[in-house]
């Protein structure tokens, strides 16, 4: 068991200092290179005095990490686990078995991401409309890479767009992959032609000769690298898909340790330095911690459950 760590009160950092030489740990429930990886790396940069180490625990689109922590590592005071809106969708659909939102302790939301649709840089499709026209003509000829299986958030994004285009989502041809990094690798190798993913992932991989982002699923155009990319709304598809990114802890973490981390993240998020780090990570402002985050997660899972029912994904 790792020893407790204590809050540094220095105004420059507002961070948590590790009493143990091993430091704290942020568990990434996917393979390297995706948005979950980005979440823990953002926490690592934002709280440098924690000596936060990264640990990868992929499998089951987050299920392996979830069940490992709540069954074997329930009380570790210095272990954080990355989560996203996709994690909450999986809970809403019962993909983590009988798990519920109150099986863990929700610590902090670090920002919000948005869905996006991308193709290879040499793709014949230069707009979302062109892509959806191709899908409408023959859904089986367009191979779409998604993180997760039917019902995952990446599946939901393209399914909602397909439905708006008059295509039954179950006619689409998907390749289920483990994490955003794997989807971009698959597209680079031409195993898939289209990615339904997240804007922060596209920031990592976009560029001349790499990928072409056709649309972002946000209310307005995003700042930064993707500023020139039109929204789906601008192209006639009124679909917005925000993706919260944050961290949780095991259910039996002592109250004092839990509050220590909640307070550390709350203080850190109030600094201009964190705002710059968040922006460089391709995320946008969304800061909730502790009890407020827990209430938000509960409502979000209810909303995701309703959406899943519309696609007959849950009973």
Question: What pLDDT is stored for residue 15 in this prediction?
Answer: 31
Q: Quick one: pLDDT at residue 4?
A: 31
161 near 239, Cβ under 8 Å? Answer: yes
Dump pLDDT digits (tens) for 197-221. Answer: 999 888 888 766 789 999 999 999 9
Residue with tokens 């698959």: 186
pLDDT tens, 112-134? 999 999 999 999 999 999 999 99
Measured between alpha carbons, how far is 202 from 189 in angstroms, rounded to an integer? 16
Inform me whether the pLDDT recorded for 5 exceeds 80. Answer: no
- Alpha carbons 114 and 283: distance in angstroms, whole number: 8
40-57 confidence digits (pLDDT tens)? 999 999 999 999 999 999
Sign of the torsion formed by the C-alpha atoms of 182, 184, 187 and 193? positive
Kind of pairing between the strands at 53-56 and 25-28: parallel
Cβ atoms of 63 and 273 within 8 Å: the answer is no
Distance separating alpha carbons of residues 244 and 183, to the nearest angstrom: 20
Separation of alpha carbons 19 and 154, rounded Å: 40
> What pLDDT, on the 0 to 100 scale, is given for residue 207?
66
pLDDT for 148 equals: 80
Are the folds of 6-112+242-310 and 114-235 the same?
yes
- Output the pLDDT for position 34: 82
Can you give the pLDDT at residue 236? 96
Q: CATH top-level class for 6-112+242-310? A: alpha beta
Stated pTM of the model: 0.81
| Sequence spans of domains, the chain | 6-112+242-310, 114-235
pLDDT value at residue 225: 86
The CATH H-level (homologous superfamily) assignment of domain 114-235 is: Periplasmic binding protein-like II (3.40.190.10)
User: What would the mean pLDDT of 286-297 be, rounded to a whole number?
Assistant: 96
Closest CA to 52 of 30, 9, 82: 82
SS3 4: coil
13 pLDDT tier (thresholds 50, 70, 90):
very low
């Amino acid at each position: 068991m790792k020893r407790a760590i204590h809050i540094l009160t220095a105004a420059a950092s507002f961070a948590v200092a590790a009493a143990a030489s091993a430091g704290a740990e942020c568990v990434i429930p996917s393979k390297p290179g995706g948005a979950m990886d980005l979440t823990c790396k953002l926490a690592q940069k934002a709280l440098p005095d924690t000596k936060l180490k990264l640990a990868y625990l992929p499998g089951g689109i987050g299920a392996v990490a979830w069940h490992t922590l709540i069954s074997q590592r329930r009380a570790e005071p210095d272990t954080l686990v990355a989560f996203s809106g996709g994690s909450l969708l999986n809970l809403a659909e019962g993909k983590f078995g009988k798990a519920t939102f109150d099986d863990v302790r929700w610590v902090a939301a670090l920002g919000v991401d948005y869905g996006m649709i991308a193709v290879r840089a040499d793709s014949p499709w230069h707009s979302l409309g062109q892509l959806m026209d191709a899908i409408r003509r023959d859904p089986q000829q367009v191979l779409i890479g998604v993180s997760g299986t039917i019902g995952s958030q990446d599946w939901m994004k393209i399914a909602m767009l397909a439905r708006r285009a008059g295509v039954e989502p179950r006619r689409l041809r998907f390749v289920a992959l483990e994490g955003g990094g794997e989807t971009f690798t698959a597209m680079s190798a031409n195993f898939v032609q289209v990615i339904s993913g997240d804007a922060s992932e596209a920031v990592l991989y976009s560029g001349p000769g790499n990928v072409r982002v056709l649309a972002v699923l946000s209310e307005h155009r995003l700042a930064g690298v993707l500023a020139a990319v039109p929204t789906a709304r601008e192209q006639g598809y009124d679909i917005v898909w925000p993706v919260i990114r944050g961290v949780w802890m095991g259910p039996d973490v002592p109250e004092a340790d839990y509050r220590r981390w909640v307070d550390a993240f709350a203080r850190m998020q109030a600094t201009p330095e964190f705002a710059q780090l968040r922006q460089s990570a391709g995320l946008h402002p969304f800061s909730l911690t502790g009890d407020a985050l827990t209430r938000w997660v509960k409502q979000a899972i209810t909303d995701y459950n309703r959406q899943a029912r519309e696609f007959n994904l849950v009973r």
